[in-house]
């Protein structure tokens, strides 16, 4: 049986709104619902918001001359701090690795349960849920909100509108202000707010982030998940019929009819579906789609329609699960009256799991073996070698030492691979230099050796802790 994924639901939804006399362009007004999945979503919302708002105030001791904020994106000094991890611009390959790992895990999640991230933990979903909660508390549930759209503005209605938008703006500015805390010392900036001593730059970014939150969570809502986010556009390429996504068991629900009519039809020995066409699954959907029409690329797999349908089935004394997390393959098996098959473990998910574990292992090893200093060598290009009066050759190099630790270190330079004398320009005696904390220094270094001594040369820098850095170059005669 061919499967067509609905990609034109916006037009269908617009027609439904027109029939319901809902102004075009208005965001979806989902109805509140109770159930297991809704409780899980509230728990995830509370957890994610707590992490977001609390994390900037967690302290982490990194020693002297280092910030003590656990998570800090210090772009001004080119540092990213996350608890015990410190990332410099030279370590951005590790950030790239983390992004690749996150994308792989997201694809694995999609292969297991579709857009589970979108439905539960995506920031757009979390803040939209929070804004909808405020809207319900102030304006009432779906019916009242739809009734108020286009109705004359009374003093009570005006007070509700002002209260709702004031609460939204308060949340938005709290969100924008907290995001700024990740880029500077959070307690210091908070004290600046209290004393009125905040830079114009910080205030500008707070307004920008607050406006973004206010617009996306308060007005755009479902349109972000459907049209602005690139992830649903990938569903046509990575949609998996074995993934446990929200689906309607049409083989059980059709033909749709009222409970009384279904009872009468069944008494006549004719088949009748369990779906009573109450529309609760559509009313609670934050995207405004009808899951009974089949898989839809806009569905964020939040499962609120599952709670709504289970509630109706329980009241009617019918089995729950008419709408449920189920694979499309099992829906087709149900149509053929075959038993469902769980295929979460299959070559695709095994391969993605192995890839995720391998990437996580590589990144862990890279972090564990990451040094607190970097040595690099660049050979002079013009001239590449100078012949001295005694017949020996001199090659010149620029040796760069970067000390990423918060304490100064003394590095002793040496070379191996060729028989040549090392000298550091500007250093009178010895081959040791002191590099300050979190600084780099470029050294002019010369190697003087015999004319026939060309070959690969290894520069080595050893500090007082016996940590060794090395870099390879070439000693040439022309």
Contacts (Cβ under 8 Å, ≥6 apart) of 453: 393, 418, 419, 420, 475
Contact between 423 and 406 under an 8 Å Cβ cutoff? The reply is: no
pLDDT score of 428: 64
pTM: 0.84
pLDDT score of 7: 42
pLDDT score of 69: 94
Structure tokens at 284: 């609670």
pLDDT score of 8: 46
Structure tokens at 396: 């010149």
The residue ranges of every structural domain in the chain are 31-87+122-231, 241-339, 373-475
For residue 416, the cross-strand partners are: 458
Contact between 171 and 133 under an 8 Å Cβ cutoff? The reply is: no
Q: How far apart, in whole angstroms, are the C-alpha atoms of residue 235 and residue 118?
A: 12
Span 373-475 CATH architecture: Sandwich (2.60)
Q: How far apart, in whole angstroms, are the C-alpha atoms of residue 97 and residue 108?
A: 16
Phi, psi for 22 (deg, rounded to 5): -95, 130
What are the pLDDT digits (tens) for 161-173? 999 999 999 999 9
pLDDT score of 11: 40
302 to 112, 120, 246, 280: CA distances (angstroms): 14, 6, 8, 15
Q: Chunked in runs of 10, what are the mean pLDDT values of the chain (478 residues)?
A: 45 41 64 96 97 95 85 89 88 92 94 93 95 95 89 92 96 94 92 87 93 94 88 80 94 91 88 92 94 89 96 94 95 94 94 97 91 90 87 92 87 90 79 85 90 86 88 87
Contact between 348 and 111 under an 8 Å Cβ cutoff? The reply is: yes
Q: How far apart, in whole angstroms, are the C-alpha atoms of residue 6 and residue 248?
A: 14
- Triad 136, 46, 208: Cα angle to 5°: 75
Contact between 233 and 225 under an 8 Å Cβ cutoff? The reply is: no
Strands 393-403 and 386-387: antiparallel
Residue indicated by tokens 């608890």: 83
Query: Exposure string (b/e) for 437-456, b if CB count within 10 Å is 16 or more?
Result: ebeeeebebbbbbeeebbee
Contacts (Cβ under 8 Å, ≥6 apart) of 36: 307
Side-chain-side CA neighbours of residue 89 (13 Å): 8
pLDDT score of 238: 82
Contacts (Cβ under 8 Å, ≥6 apart) of 438: 65, 77, 403, 404, 405, 406
pLDDT score of 253: 92
Phi, psi for 410 (deg, rounded to 5): -100, 125
Helix axes 123-139, 155-181, angle to 10 degrees: 150
pLDDT score of 15: 40
pLDDT score of 430: 65
Q: How far apart, in whole angstroms, are the C-alpha atoms of residue 190 and residue 178?
A: 10
Cα dihedral value 258, 259, 261, 265, nearest 10: 130
Other CB atoms within 10 Å distance of the CB of residue 123? 14
Write out the chain in H/E/C secondary structure.
Answer: CCCCCECCHHHHHHHHHHHCCCCCCCCCCCCCCCCHHHHHHHHHHHHHHHHHHHHHHCECCCCCCCCCECEEEEHHHCEEEECCEEECHHHHHHHHHHHHHHHHHHHHHHHHHCCHHHHHCCHHHHHHHHHHHHHHHHHCCHHHHHHHCCCCCCHHHHHHHHHHHHHHHHHHHHHHHHHHHCCCCHHHHHHHHHHCCCCHHHHHHHHHHHHHHHHHHHHHCHHHHHHHCCHHHHHHHHCCCCCCEEEECHHHHCCCCCHHHHHHHHHCCCCCCCCCCCCHHHHCCCCCCCHHHCCECCCCCCCHHHHHHHHHHHHHCCCCCCEEEECHHHHHHHHCCCCCCCCCCCHHHHHHHHHHHHHHHHHHHHHHCCCCEEEEEEECCCCCCEECCCCCEEEEEEEEEEECCCCCEEEEEEEECCCEEEEECCCCCCCEEEECCCEEEEEEEEEEECCCCCEEEEEEEECCCCCEEEEEEEECCC
């Amino acid at each position: 049986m061919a499967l067509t994924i609905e990609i034109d639901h916006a037009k269908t939804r617009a027609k439904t709104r027109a029939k319901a006399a809902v102004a075009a362009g208005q965001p979806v007004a989902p109805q509140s619902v109770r159930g297991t999945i809704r409780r899980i979503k509230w728990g995830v919302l509370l957890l994610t918001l707590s992490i977001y708002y609390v994390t900037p105030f967690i302290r982490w001791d990194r020693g002297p001359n280092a910030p003590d904020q656990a998570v800090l994106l210090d772009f001004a000094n080119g540092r990213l701090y996350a608890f015990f991890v410190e990332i410099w611009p030279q370590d951005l390959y590790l950030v790239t690795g983390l992004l690749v790992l996150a994308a792989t895990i997201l694809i694995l999640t999609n292969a297991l349960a579709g857009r589970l991230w979108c439905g539960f933990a995506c920031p757009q979903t979390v803040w939209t849920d929070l804004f909808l909660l405020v809207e319900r508390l102030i304006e009432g549930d779906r019916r009242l909100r739809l009734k108020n759209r286009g109705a004359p503005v009374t003093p009570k209605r005006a007070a509700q509108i002002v209260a709702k938008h004031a609460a939204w703006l308060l949340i938005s500015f709290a969100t924008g202000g907290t995001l700024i805390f990740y880029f500077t010392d959070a307690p210091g900036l908070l004290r600046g707010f209290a004393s009125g001593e905040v830079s114009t730059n910080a205030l500008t970014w707070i307004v920008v982030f607050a406006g973004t939150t206010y617009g996306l969570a308060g007005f755009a809502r479902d349109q972000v998940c459907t049209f602005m986010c690139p992830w649903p556009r990938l569903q046509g390429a990575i949609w998996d019929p074995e993934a446990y996504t929200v689906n309607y068991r049409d083989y059980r629900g059709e033909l749709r009819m009222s409970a009384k009519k279904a009872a009468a039809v069944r008494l006549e020995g004719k088949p009748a579906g369990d779906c009573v066409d109450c529309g609760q699954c559509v009313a609670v959907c934050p995207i405004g789609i009808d899951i009974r029409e089949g898989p839809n690329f806009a569905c964020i797999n939040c499962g609120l329609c599952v709670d709504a349908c289970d509630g109706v089935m329980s009241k009617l004394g019918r089995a729950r699960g008419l709408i449920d997390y189920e694979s499309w393959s099992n829906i087709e098996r149900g149509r053929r009256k075959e038993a469902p098959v769980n295929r979460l473990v299959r070559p695709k998910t095994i391969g993605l799991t192995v890839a995720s574990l391998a990437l996580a292992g590589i990144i862990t090893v890279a972090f564990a073996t990451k040094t607190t200093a970097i040595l690099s060598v660049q050979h002079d290009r013009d001239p590449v070698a100078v012949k001295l009066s005694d017949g020996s050759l001199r090659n010149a190099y620029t040796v760069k030492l970067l000390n990423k630790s918060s304490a100064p270190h003394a590095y002793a330079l040496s070379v191996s691979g060729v028989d040549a004398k090392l000298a550091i320009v500007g250093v009178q005696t010895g081959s040791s230099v002191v590099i300050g904390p979190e600084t780099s220094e470029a050294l002019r270094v010369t190697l003087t050796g015999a004319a026939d001594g060309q070959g690969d040369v290894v520069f080595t820098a050893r500090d007082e802790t016996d940590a060794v850095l090395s870099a390879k170059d070439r000693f040439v005669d022309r």
